[in-house]
Amino acid sequence: MNATAAKIPFSTRQVGQTGLEITTLGLGGATLAGMMANVPEEQARATVGRALDAGITYFDTAPQYGFGRSEHVMGDGLRWRRAGTVLSSKVGRLLRPVQNDSERKYQHSWVDPFPFDMVYDYSYDGIRRSFEDSLQRLGLSSIDIVYVHDIGTMTHGEKNAGYWQQLAGGGYKALQELKAAGTIKAIGLGVNEWQVLMDAFELGDWDVFLLAGRYTLLEQTSLSPFLETCVKRKASVVCGGPFNGGALMGTGTWNYAKAPQEIIDRVKRLEAFCKEAGVPIGAAALQFPLAHPAMAAVLPGPKSPTELEGILDWWQVKIPDAFWSGLADRKLVAPGTPLPNGRTA
């Protein structure tokens, strides 16, 4: 079936122990802000519209993406069609105005971003302000899920201890209060490293984590103990970056940088196996993560309706059970990995 022919009957999964239900395929908003390539606002809004038309109900954005640009276009795309959707954004970065690029403290990968720079703030007041600022940029009256964005040593290095103290000393309380008041429905962290999420469990309970790149067809490094802990603590996970920053698409990039040789070699083995089996690697990458019981959704980030059509087509590919068994038999996935055919590697 061509993805443009009709609305796709997406399955939904519950977010943690909340009442939220999200489609197992979502739309990520990073590339819509012009990550590494120019994305006209009309194109970004059209991508959101196409996702809605297809039946996708879960949408994610963040203040960092284009320094406010992603929230702007996501809000435009959802404003008159908000009913029945679930929207997540993030806290931890406030935005301050700048006159030009030379005033920015942080390097970035956005083409034509809004005229702002980042100020990291994971404190009680910082998180409350970030949330209010996001509502205004979105032009919406509500956000359903709030993630603490990019806290961890991968982003902050030695400075992370101070930022973690901000979160532990007040930021987490702010999130709890917003949820208890019914202002938001779920809280979590959105990061690229699973280890900090184990630390988060020490702070208290969370509903959902957006983890980019650490549980994909290419790597399953978060399988144990993190995903095991999520099942025990009844916290959901959203798989961000299912193509590992382009590595599985043959771009040679991984973790926002040039891929090391071991990753390139692993991608080649997966490509060869997929070609032999007659299965598009993009289809396998999208469908693989959801076999884990902790996973609620997969969140790719197409930058145009055309790219989204390709994702929708991959989503609907019927992958034979033998393909998944072959992944395990050839040791292309980690031992103990749940597979879509019900088998465990």
**Count of beta carbons in the 10 Å neighbourhood of residue 53:** 16
Residue 31 CA to residue 61 CA, distance in Å, equals 10
Other beta carbons within 10 Å of 89: 31
Helix, strand or coil for residue 251?
coil
DSSP per position, 193-208: -SHHHHHHHHH---SE
Q: Are strands 12-14 and 21-23 parallel, antiparallel or unpaired?
A: antiparallel
Cα(323)–Cα(270) distance, rounded to whole angstroms?
11
Total length of the chain = 345
Q: What 3-state class would DSSP assign to 293?
A: coil
Cα 137–chain centre separation: 20
Q: Report the candidate in 92, 337, 71, 56 with the shortest Cα–Cα distance to residue 222.
A: 337
C-alpha to C-alpha distance for 321 and 279, rounded to whole angstroms: 12
Q: Catalytic residues, which ones? A: 60, 65, 90
